[in-house]
Amino acid sequence: MFALVDCNSFYASCERVFRPDLKDKPVVVLSNNDGCVVALSKEAKKLGIKMCDPWYQIESSYTKKGGYAFSSNYELYADISARIMTTLERLSPNIEIYSIDEAFLDLTGVNNCQNLQDFGMQCKETIKQWTGMPVRVGIAPTKTLSKIASYGAKYYPATQGVVDLSKPERQKKLLNLVPVQEVWGVGRKIHKRLNQIGIRTALDLAMIDTKYVRNNFNIVLAKTVRELRGEPCIGLEDQPSAKKQIVVSRTFSKRVDDLRTLEEAVSDYAARAAAKLRRENRRCLYVSVFIRTNPFRAQDRQYRNSGTTRLIAPTSDTRDIIQNAKKSLRAIYRSGFNYIKAGILLSDFYDDQIQQYDFFYSKERTLHSDQLMNTIDKINKKGLPPVYFLAQGIKRKWSMKREIQSPRYTTSWNDLPKVS
Amino acid sequence: MEFNINKNDLVEPALLASNVSEKRQSIPILSNVLISAAKNSIKITATDLEIEYKTTIEGVEVKKEGEVTVSARKLADLVRSIPEDTKLNFCLIDNQIEIKALKFQADLATLPASDFPSIDSADFSSSIKISSSALADMIGSTSVAMAAQDVRYYLNGCLLETKGNALCVVSTDGHRLAFTKTSIDGLKEDFRVIVPRKAVMELQKIISANDEEITLNVSQNQINVVGSVFSFTSKLIEGNYPDYEKVFPVGDESKLIVDKNEFNTALSRASVLSNEKYRGIRLSLNKDLLKIEANNPEKESAEEEIKVDYSGPELEIGFNISYLQESLTTIKDLSAEIVFFGQESSCIVKNKENEDLIHVIMPMRL
């Protein structure tokens, strides 16, 4: 038996945790550079705001109607997410963190000693009390059905945010109400093809012959069909699967046309990516850089390109990564363009505990590099003024615009909420 | 142009030429071979602008002289699929070449011979003679350690150098190094050149075809190898090859003598459960017992013990299985001798039958 715990309008709810005055008020969260709406509360939805609405178009009318908006504050969201996951780990020994705002719980054994509906309520209330975040809980014998249960909890207020689908008759009833495109694992393309053969609801999908699905679609969808029937095919992944690549990319606050500024931005992203890589205890062999102009500015000449450098040996040393990122950048940079975005991608990862020694690349260098990087990471973790490489720039005028960001309530001493 | 030729005479040159030709088709004509028919022979030429292979096939019934270029791959695939000893008729009609064999007929597109490029000839300052089988052996036993697509471009090839009266061949990818030498009577030449990877691999195939005396001509930026029916030219990698002699480990030796096949098969078994990415394996040596251990991220493991002849202190050391196995394949003797210099140091895989061939392998931290 599984439970899916899913946060309601996650980013918007995070903004409300330390702003109780925003309860029942419209709240939206904006993308990087305050470009467009990426999360919204149900009150904002009622005002007619939609996901991806450009902020400059809705700003004046939305604020006039009493709506609140925030620049994205990922540090706050990540920290609140971590608090929720820690709380969940207390409630169930086996959890799979599926995304920043969702987790699957393995309920094996729970149903022997507790009513599942009650367990769901307890989950919801504990998280609300301990973290201030509203969540909904879907309970079912398979992960796919628990997603369906969570859908039910979201759209039917009478459920009070908890749906238990352990009984087959309840499964059938809800499956019949859920459009097939809402089923976990059914993407846009498959949805179109399913529609062509008359499959409209989740129940329709649960009824098709799995052999037919395997031959005409794929094995993954066949698994989904079985899961909808209550046969567990997808287990809990308690170990988050190792990342295959790390990407750090940002849109600039203003257009950039000179190589020096681009180098500064790319070096900064490289340093962030390298720190992420070390947090995962990995080293990478390839460093790629990409740059592009703004395709929405028709008056500008357009250019986009990417370049990759292979390193001599896998590394997680910020210096190596910055150096090679700059090398890749210089190879693809063309003058006379207004660049709006750049990014860095690290790939082909190696475990930092396993190392193939090289005749011409000394062990001592790796050892010193590890010590230096460890020290930098330790200092930066303490929340003191950060240590960074000069290549990352000092003023960073290109860096993202976040004009209406909320304080980092939980991760910065200076941003602690004050009681007056 | 028209000529008749026996399939058996053409198949090998066509294959070798096809390997040399450029497969990525950045310039279309580079994926073609040039066929020139004159008197009673035909000449086949292939190049990718870095290397060039020319060969002459004698005893061909040339009905009409001429030259043209045709797809190297298609020519090789066609000729290979024709039954042995079949007479093939090649005839250039308009811009197509017609190939007839028994009841089979094919028409291939051509490009004009005048557009076919050639590598400018160089001023060869050194020249040595060596048996083709000796050179093929030297390359065959060392090329495995060559780097492929390394940032250190000078490692993506083989070092050929003279030392005293010996010709040395060295290759390394930084993780392992293979070295061999052979003495050549009266050798006075003095050169140190890096031959690119593709040239090394193709040259090996070309010179393995015939056992004969061949000539190596070396200039500052080219190497040219000439046999009785072929001429092979390659540009050289410009760069400083690392000082490989510094790589040979020194210190207290611990010698392991092990049955080559037994060791190799044990490694193969263990490799099934080693980490696919790192291919790491742990060797533990204690008295006359060698323990081989492998494990992977799925928490699976394999272990095997084999009786060996070992003189040295207890030792535990990690290696890439492929490096060990690939060095074992160059050993012709039934037993392999591996010399260790401690846990953090490289080991030497020796060849009893040929003391001039050694492989040095760097360990892994597991």
What is the per-residue pLDDT across A347-391, written as a single tens digit (0 to 9) for each? 999 998 888 999 988 777 777 889 999 999 999 888 778 899 999
Which one, of B9, B34, B6, B31, lies nearest residue B92 by Cα? B34
Cβ within 8 Å, pair B172-A359? yes
Does A112 have pLDDT greater than 90? no
Q: Which residues of B touch A358 (CB under 8 A)?
A: 174-175, 362
Phi, psi of B83 (to 5 degrees): -60, 150
Provide residues of B within 8 Å CB-CB of chain A: 149-152, 172, 174-175, 177, 242, 247, 275, 277-278, 280, 320, 344, 346, 360, 362-366
- What ipTM score was computed for the predicted complex, to two decimals? 0.87
Q: For residues B224-249, give the mean pLDDT.
A: 95
CA distance A153 to chain B (A): 37
Show which of residues 306-335 on chain A sit within 8 Å of chain B, judged by CB atoms. 309-313
Which one, of A175, A170, A189, lies nearest residue A144 by Cα? A175
Q: Output the average pLDDT for chain A.
A: 90
Does B121 have pLDDT greater than 90? no
Q: For residues B304-313, give the mean pLDDT.
A: 94
Model pTM score: 0.79
Does B238 have pLDDT greater than 80? yes
* Residue A238 pLDDT class (50, 70, 90 cuts): low
> Strand A68-71 relative to strand A27-30: parallel, antiparallel, unpaired?
parallel
Cβ within 8 Å, pair B175-A356? yes
pLDDT of B42-101, one tens digit each? 999 999 999 999 999 999 999 999 999 999 999 999 999 999 999 999 999 999 999 999
Can you give the C-alpha Rg of chain B in angstroms?
24
If you count them, how many residues does chain B have? 366
User: How many Cα atoms are found within 13 Å in the side-chain-facing hemisphere of B124?
Assistant: 18
Collapse the DSSP code of A246 into the 3-class scheme (helix H, G, I; strand E, B; otherwise coil) and give the result.
Answer: strand
Q: Are A80 and A44 in contact (CB under 8 A)?
A: no
Q: Are B124 and B97 in contact (CB under 8 A)?
A: no
> Strand A37-40 relative to strand B51-58: parallel, antiparallel, unpaired?
unpaired
pLDDT at A33: 79
pLDDT at A241: 66
Collapse the DSSP code of B145 into the 3-class scheme (helix H, G, I; strand E, B; otherwise coil) and give the result.
Answer: helix
pLDDT at B35: 97
Phi, psi of B316 (to 5 degrees): -130, 125
Q: Which residues of A touch B150 (CB under 8 A)?
A: 312
Which one, of A389, A384, A390, A263, lies nearest residue A327 by Cα? A263
Q: Are B292 and B306 in contact (CB under 8 A)?
A: yes
Which one, of A130, A329, A351, A80, lies nearest residue B276 by Cα? A351
Q: What span, in angstroms and rounded, lies between the C-alpha atoms of A51 and A299?
A: 27
Q: What span, in angstroms and rounded, lies between the C-alpha atoms of A282 and A317?
A: 11
Distances (CA, A) of A272 to A247, A316, A340: 10, 11, 19
* Residue A417 pLDDT class (50, 70, 90 cuts): confident
Cβ within 8 Å, pair B152-A311? no
Q: Are A216 and A197 in contact (CB under 8 A)?
A: no
Cβ within 8 Å, pair B174-A311? no
Quick one: how far is CA B164 from the chain centroid? 25
Testing the interface with A: which of B154, B241, B277, B343 to mutate, by most A Cβ within 10 A? B277
pLDDT at A240: 63
Collapse the DSSP code of B25 into the 3-class scheme (helix H, G, I; strand E, B; otherwise coil) and give the result.
Answer: coil
Q: How many CB atoms lie within 10 A of CB B8?
A: 12
B260-271 helix and B321-328 helix, angle to the nearest 10 degrees: 150
pLDDT at A168: 92
Burial class (CB in 10 A: 0-12, 13-18, 19+), A24: exposed
B278, B362, B366 member nearest A358 (Cβ): B362
Which one, of B234, B136, B222, lies nearest residue B182 by Cα? B136
